[in-house]
Structure 1
Amino acid sequence: MRPDILFPLFAALNSLKGVGPRIAALLEKAAGPHVIDLLWHLPREIVDRRERPTIAQALPGKIVTLTLTIGRHDAPSDRRRPYRIQASDPTGSLTLTFFRGDKKYLEQLLPEGSQRIVSGRLDLYNGIKQMSHPDHVHPLDKASEIPDIEPVYPLTQGVTPKVLGKALTAALARVPELPEWLDTAHLARTKWPAWHEALHAAHGPRGPSDLSPLSPIRQRLAYDELLANQLALTVVRRKAKRQGGQSVEGDGSLRRQVRDALPFALTGSQESALAEIFADMASPNRMLRLLQGDVGSGKTVVALMAMLNAVECGGQAALMAPTEILARQHYETIAPLVAKIGLKCVILTGRDKGAARRDSLAALAEGRAPIAIGTHALFQDDVAFRDLKLAIIDEQHRFGVHQRLSLGSKGHRADVLVMTATPIPRTLTMTAYGDLDSSRLTDKPPGRQPIKTVVIADSRLHEVVDGIGRKLKEGAKVYWVCPLVEESETSDLADAEGRYADLCRSFGEAKVALVHGRMKGKEKDAAMARFIDGPADILVATTVIEVGVNVPAATVMVIEHAERFGLAQLHQLRGRVGRGDAASTCILVRAEQLSETARERLRTMAETEDGFLIAEKDLELRGAGEILGTKQSGLPEFRLADIALHGELMRIAHDDARLVLERDPDLTGDRGRKLRYLLYLFERDAAIANLKSG
């Protein structure tokens, strides 16, 4: 149970003084449903109201705080015209302007002949100094109510800074003094404030430096969030490990047969990844491992060898992919290899129905099919295995953490291997996959050629088309990727259907195929078959071909509006070529006008093929949330931490969490009990439920 001292922080927003149901609903849009969410909603800039000049000294465009004598009110007869109030000091005069101003209210706020302190932005209108809708208006005896430094928050429509400010003041009044959960030596080294003090200081910045993510205040709060994340993941991981698994150690007979049939030798990093995987499978603990491999680094072969290890022990293995195209790609690679050694492999996708599906389900339930490949369809209740020993999940970032474990639960504590061809920076690996051990495939299979990448402006598109004509005569196959499916009135981006029509006019309909996400499965398959086996040599596509399409004869990749894609996505698309032994080219077609970030992305693509280097650059340019597509990645959305800026803090939190739980696995020691407050604060209650009570 959450400790009583934290209850006020998890109360609904309308429990705060002055926050009714309407305002609470609006604040919830901006921050979240609870008081604690409002506290995590930090200011992004400040307004400095310390400049207190005379009217003559006041400069247009500046925020100023003035002491004024209020003069004549010019109330318009038509409410649509501005309400103007003349004001002065000994050095000059100005106009206070209110649009749709209420006469009665303004006469009370700014009575003629009174003195008032007024703060806001000064502007010039027809050469006359004016201030529209001042932020603060107070009598002289309440001058202290105007803050010298005022924080500015991200707002949602319908919430004024004043309303948010009052709600935050009420929320901060509820923040309790909690016992310090950080290591004393670490606090002394970093000179960070206590949590309570840091939270108050974050909402009461004294200058621009306090807003920096690297200020001691913000680093302290970011570290708390990262530590809660790492503790929770480590607790879940330890629980999964503690559950125990089964020792899976085959005799190597099937693996030897497949190795002998392969036309190539495995790379050094494939061998070392397999050694780690086999060691995990042989141990009595359950394997939870992430296999990261750059595009074309040979993950499928590693997956197959791991599956065969399970089959050698009389068990079954399943491989799940996020899309039907990718599942069928795996099936077409694996099924022929295992058929040669007498093993049955079945495929299950949403499209497989009727007798074929019933046969596949029966073969899995009876153990006649030791290997299954499929999409989410493998999760379905009617899919049963006789003895699932290994679950492999490909393109893991498309699935959440729960899905990762639910396929594994189809077997008795089955080992779990997750794979991704999206190289992930180390800090993100800790964040999204901190509950997994990690292996990396860093070298390409022998014979793979480097890919030449060129960036050209879209005004030279005709040159690209001419160049493709020459390549087709040499027997090449070409991918042409567009950002949209069809022409849009609101966008000038290239559309796949329009480009398909253009290329058909240039090269003939027989030579061009089209694939996009809105097509039915059978249509997609037919278009892909025309491209792979002929007669089509150009495949116009949206990003549905980003993962899992393997056509070794394809040596040219054209990406239109390349500036609209993220670095990781560009890298994935480029990886569709260079899969055979012929030299390949990737042409990035860009708009004439580019932002600096887009220019930097395209420059990185032209300079390197190293996916891990590209991933680090992507993190730097775009931040963590977008890289993995936070919504479906299982990656937590951080409120206080920024992985791109707080990578070093993440590494420290990662080590800190492991060390704490090694010494105090149930968090019942002195620091452990204090860290439980941290887990509750960041709503990691599930982790606490996983600990033994104490």
Structure 2
Amino acid sequence: MRPDILNPLFQSLTALPGLGPKLAPKVARLIGPAGETAREAAVLDVLFHIPSYLIDRSREAMIATAPEGAIVTLRVRVDRHKATPPGTRAPYRVFVHDESGEMALTYFRAEKGWMEKLYPVGETVLISGKIEWFNGAPQMNHPDHVVPEAEAHKLPRMEPVYPMTEGVTSRLLMKLADAALARLPALPEWLDPAHKAREGWSDFATVLHHLHKPESNAEFADDSPSLARLAYDELLASQLALALVRKSLKTVLQRQNRPTGTIAAKLRAALPFALTGSQEAAIADVLADLAAPNRMIRLIQGDVGSGKTMVALFAAAACVEAGGQAAIMAPTELLARQHAQSIGAIADKAGLRVALLTGSDKGKGRRETLECIASGEVDIVVGTHALFQQSVDFANLTLAVVDEQHRFGVHQRLALTGKGQKTDLLVMTATPIPRTLMLAYFGDMDVSRLTEKPAGRKPIVTVTVSADRLGSIVDRIRLAVAQEGAKAYWVCPLVEESEVSDLAAAEERFQDLRQFFGDDVALVHGRMKPAEKDAAMARFKSGEAHVLVATTVIEVGVDVPDATIMVIEHAERFGLAQLHQLRGRVGRGAKASSCVLLFKGPLGETAKARLNVMRETEDGFRIAEEDLKLRGGGELLGIRQSGMPGFRFVRPEHHGALMETARDDASLILTRDPNLASDRGQALRILLYLFGRDEAIRLIRAG
């Protein structure tokens, strides 16, 4: 149960004055909680939607000397109105003057009566907005604020500017913030007093007041103490939740059976290649964990193409040999099917029974798969999030493998491990992650790193090419297909955060390329039915189609070893981590491969730096570090696209040191007060609710 003191903060947005049923959904979409939390947007989200910067309107200027392009406040007298002539699109103009000269105030689509009321002729008014010069004369388009001289006090002298969306103005957000601040209860302090004093931080309520009613832009600077305090609060909530999850999972297991290694030997005999040294080391780590009395919680961190799936298969084999079942959960259906195919062929030779379960399975086939899982006839189940639905029962689930784990929330991982009484957890990510982000997203998990690529793989030559030369790239691919039977991916740009626009771009390019390649080109995107997607992939794999046009649905896990060309259109629109993932779809066989980054100039500094890094290195860990420097950690793991709750206040590039402190603080707290029962413990429970980590409180109750 949420503490009563928090009720005013978790009220619906419509509890705030001036926010009716029409406007509330727009505000909710802008400020609402991200990721796995299912709650509606609330008053708390208004407080957490902080301004980006501050406009200082405190200094008055004169018309003639006001700097062009600057926001200024002027005290002017209204001279005359020049209304829009009927039937034209000319702007409505109001002419004003002060001691230094005259200027025009310009409005488009203005209503005459309203304008005359706002600017009475002969009256003095205060206006604030941006001065521009047009044909040698100053003008101001749509002033931000207009008040009569007698009401000068109503003009905001320091105006915070909030991130906005269509129909939601900064002015409305200021009003909502005022109302939300008035509802903020006096909360107990959850920070260690000595630490708080050492950092010079104010209390939680004061910090929110400082940010919503700032006195200078210093409040929003990288080293702002107010932002640091909120970032630390958020990190502490996150680290506490991770520590509680880890503690609940790290239970002592009575392991009845131990693997003998018989199935592992059969797997090795079935493999058409030798495992790398780091794969062998990771498998040894996993086997040591499975022999230990504590439940395994291990992260396999390997770059694109380093062979994580094989490690997962050997882990599953060990669990099956000890009398259990294994589940491998992938974030997309395409990747789940891919895993089932690649694992299935080798597993079958070792006598392991593999089944696939996804959300699109229906009817009799699904029922039969569920019955086989429940009866123990299936050893390894590969699937999507469908694996942790209530209808799925396992005979004896002893290992849960979660692939691309940052795409699943904490409660989804708990739901999967909760399918068995003694379930070990192995998580995998292909995104190399800097240490600071490792701590933030995974806590103190045991980590095995895969640092080598399988033997025989050649480096990928990466080039950047202007989009003007698109025709020559098509010609080169045609030549490579004709002479060598080459296969090429063509990835279409992320036009905006919309599957529809992605789809339009992919379909348009597909039609364009058909003019050159005819039926030798296939199309894959996220909105296709699984059977259509499988059919297109099968054509590409078999060589019936040599060019595959795709959206970023192929970013993770798609494995066609003889594909050697990757074209990424509008590469400047992608983040480094995503470019690296996409490039990793080629270079998976023994042939030399190339990656063409098509860009449209002129490039900004960040885009230029990003493309340079891609040209210079294939080292995923270096790429991750550069990505962190270039754009911070917010998108590095693809958090916003994938539904993991991102941080609201934490910027890993600025708050990296706070992560270490928060982790140590959380560890010390739980050592001293494992049930959060002390006064500080009770305050920390409030913190967990504030930052949407209350799932962890259920773990305390569950013991």
Give TM-score, length-normalised by structure 1.
0.85
Are 1:484 and 1:494, in contact at CA under 8 Å, matched by a contact in 2?
no
SS state at 1:276 partner? helix
The aligned residue for residue 36 of structure 2 is none
Distance 1:306 1:76, change over 3 A: closer
| Cα distance change of structure 1 residues 458 and 74 upon mapping to structure 2, 3 Å threshold | closer
Tell me by how many angstroms 1:178 deviates. 3.2
Paired residues of 1:482 and 1:561 also in contact (CA < 8 A) = no
Distance 1:559 1:71 in 2: 57
Note the alpha carbon deviations across 1:255-296, whole angstroms, 9 max, x for none.
233335545443332233223322332334433333221111
Q: Distance in 2 between matches of 1:412 and 1:487?
A: 42
C-alpha displacement of 1:199? 1.4
What is the CA distance between 1:235 and its match in structure 2?
2.0
Task: Specify the code of the residue in structure 1 equivalent to 2:663.
Answer: H
User: For residues 183-332 of structure 1, what are the structure 2 equivalents within 5 Å?
Assistant: 183-242=192-251, 246=255, 249-332=258-341
Paired position in structure 1 for 2:597 = 588
Give 1:566's aligned amino acid: G
- SS of the aligned residue for 1:192 comes to coil
Task: Quickly say closer, same or farther: Cα 1:429–1:113, change in 2 above 3 A.
Answer: same
Alignment counterpart, residue 504 of structure 1, candidates 517, 526, 544: 517
The farther-off stretch of 438-447 and 339-348 is 339-348
- For residues 249 and 472 of structure 1, do their structure 2 counterparts lie closer, same or farther at Cα, with a shift above 3 Å needed? same
Moved more, 96-105 or 534-543: 96-105
- Please give the per-residue CA displacement for 1:135-183, whole angstroms capped at 9, x wherever unaligned: 5555667645544422122334444544433332232233344333222
Measured after TM superposition, the shift of residue 683 of structure 1 is 3.6
The 1:167/1:372 distance shift into structure 2, 3 A limit, reads: closer
Distance 1:183 1:512 in 2: 62
Change (3 A) 1:6 1:348: closer
Question: Residue 642 of structure 1 aligns with which residue?
Answer: 651
Give the conservation status (yes or no) of the 8 Å contact 1:482–1:496. no
| Greater shift in the superposed pair: 581-590 or 93-102 | 93-102
Residue 49 of structure 2, aligned match among 41, 55, 73 = 41
1:395 and 2:404 matched: yes
Shift of 1:252: 2.2
- The one-letter code matched in structure 1 to 2:615 is A
Give, as a single letter, the amino acid of the residue that structure 1 aligns with 2:609.
Answer: E
Cα 1:6/1:335, change in 2 over 3 Å:
closer
Question: Match of 1:669?
Answer: 678
**Contact 1:516–1:524 (Cα < 8 Å) also in 2:** yes
The aligned counterpart of 1:371 is 380
Query: Structure 2 vs 1, CA of residues 642 and 512 (structure 1 numbering), >3 Å: closer, same or farther?
Result: same
**Cα displacement string for residues 115-138 of structure 1 (whole angstroms, at most 9, x for unaligned residues):** 555544445577665556655555
Distance 2:71 2:586 in 1: 56
TM-superposed CA distance for 1:609, in Å, is 0.7
Deviation at 1:571, TM superposition (A): 1.8
* Residue in structure 1 matching 2:350, options 318, 341, 356: 341
- Post-superposition Cα deviations, 1:85-119, rounded to whole Å, max 9, x if no partner, equal 66555555556667746758966x77676655554
Look up the equivalent residue of 2:619 and give its one-letter code.
D
Name the CA shift for 1:95/1:490 in 2 (closer, same or farther; >3 Å): farther
| Amino acid in structure 2 at the alignment position of 1:568 | A
Alpha-carbon spacing, 1:307–1:470, altered in 2? closer, same or farther (3 Å): same
Mapped contact 2:493–2:505 kept (Cα < 8 A):
no
User: 1:107-146 alignment to 2 at 5 Å?
Assistant: 117-123=126-132, 134-136=143-145, 143-146=152-155
Structure 1 residue aligned with 2:621: 612
Measure, in 1, the Cα distance between the counterparts of 2:697 and 2:65. 60
Q: CA–CA distance in 2 between the matches of 1:648 and 1:73? A: 60
1:587: Cα distance to partner?
2.5
- Alpha-carbon offset, residue 202 of structure 1: 1.1
What is the identity, as a one-letter code, of the residue corresponding to 2:314? Answer: M
User: What is the letter of the counterpart of residue 433 of structure 1?
Assistant: F
Q: Which of 418, 422, 434 in structure 2 is aligned with 1:413?
A: 422
- Is residue 455 of structure 1 aligned with residue 464 of structure 2? yes
CA distance in 1, matches of 2:548, 2:142: 59
Task: Assess if the C-alpha contact under 8 Å between 2:257 and 2:323 holds in 1.
Answer: no
Task: Mark the CA change 1:60 to 1:512 in structure 2 (over 3 Å): closer, same or farther.
Answer: closer
The yes-or-no answer on 1:597 pairing with 2:615 is: no
Native 8 Å contact 2:46 2:177 kept in 1: yes
**C-alpha separation in 2, matches of 1:71 and 1:553:** 74
TM superposition score normalised by structure 2 = 0.84
* Structure-1 separation of matches of 2:405 and 2:537: 24
Map of 1:168 onto structure 2? 177
AA paired with 1:498?
Q
- 1:213-262: CA deviation from partner (whole Å, max 9, x where unpaired): 43112111222122222222322332233486756631223223333554
Which stretches in structure 1 are left out of the alignment for 5+ residues?
none
Show CA shifts across 1:414-438 (max 9, x none). Answer: 2222222233344443344338543
Q: Which moved more, 1:77-86 or 1:8-17?
A: 77-86
Q: 1:463 to 1:88 in 2, by over 3 A?
A: closer
- 1:442-591 correspondence runs (5 A): 442-468=451-477, 471-472=480-481, 475=484, 477-483=486-492, 495-504=508-517, 509=519, 514-517=523-526, 519-534=528-543, 536-591=545-600
Give CA deviations for 1:632-676 in whole Å, capped at 9, x if unaligned: 645213332334543333333233222322222112234323322
- The CA distance in 2 between the partners of 1:491 and 1:78, in whole Å, is 42
Aligned residues: 688
Cα distance in 2 for residues equivalent to 1:370 and 1:528: 27
Q: Distance in 2 between matches of 1:636 and 1:296?
A: 27
Q: Is the 8 A contact 2:80 2:96 kept in 1?
A: no
CA displacement, residues 13-37 of structure 1 (integer Å, 9 cap, x when unaligned): 4444565555655544443443222
Mapped to 2, the partners of 1:355 and 1:169 lie a distance apart of 57
Deviations 1:524-554 (A, max 9, x none): 4454444444455544444443333333333
Q: Secondary structure at the match of 1:691?
A: helix
Partner of 2:11: 11
Query: Structure 1 residues 541, 95: closer, same or farther in 2, change over 3 A?
Result: closer
SS of 2:45 mapped into structure 1: helix
Instruction: Name the CA shift for 1:167/1:631 in 2 (closer, same or farther; >3 Å).
Output: closer
Q: Could you say if the C-alpha distance between residues 631 and 413 of structure 1 is closer, same or farther in structure 2, counting changes exceeding 3 Å? A: farther
Q: In structure 2, what residue type is equivalent to 1:35?
A: V
* Deviation readout 1:604-650 (Å, 9 max, x if unpaired): 11111111222233344455454444356452133323345433333
TM-fit CA distance, 1:578:
2.0
- 1:433: which partner in 2? 442
CA distance in 2 between counterparts of 1:380 and 1:174 reads 39
TM-fit CA distance, 1:466: 4.8
Deviates more, 1:81-90 or 1:201-210: 81-90
Cα separation, 1, equivalents of 2:687 and 2:439:
19
Q: Structure 1 residues 29, 455: closer, same or farther in 2, change over 3 A?
A: closer
| Cα RMSD for the two superposed structures | 3.9
Q: CA deviation at 1:483?
A: 1.0
Cα gap change, 1:189 to 1:325, in 2 (>3 Å): same
Q: Secondary structure at the match of 2:448?
A: strand
Q: Report if aligned partners of 1:269, 1:441 keep a CA contact under 8 Å in 2.
A: yes
Q: In structure 2, the residue corresponding to 1:173 is in which secondary structure? A: helix
Please say if residues 476 and 553 of structure 1, whose CA atoms lie closer than 8 Å, have aligned partners that are also in contact.
no
Are the equivalent residues in 1 in contact too, given 2:393–2:419 (CA < 8 A)?
yes
Separation in 1, partners of 2:413, 2:182: 41
How far apart, CA to CA, are the structure 2 residues paired with 1:124 and 1:564? Answer: 34
In structure 1, give the amino acid aligned to 2:11.
A
Greater Cα offset, 263-272 or 305-314? 263-272
State how far apart, in whole Å, the 2-side matches of 1:81 and 1:578 are.
Answer: 59
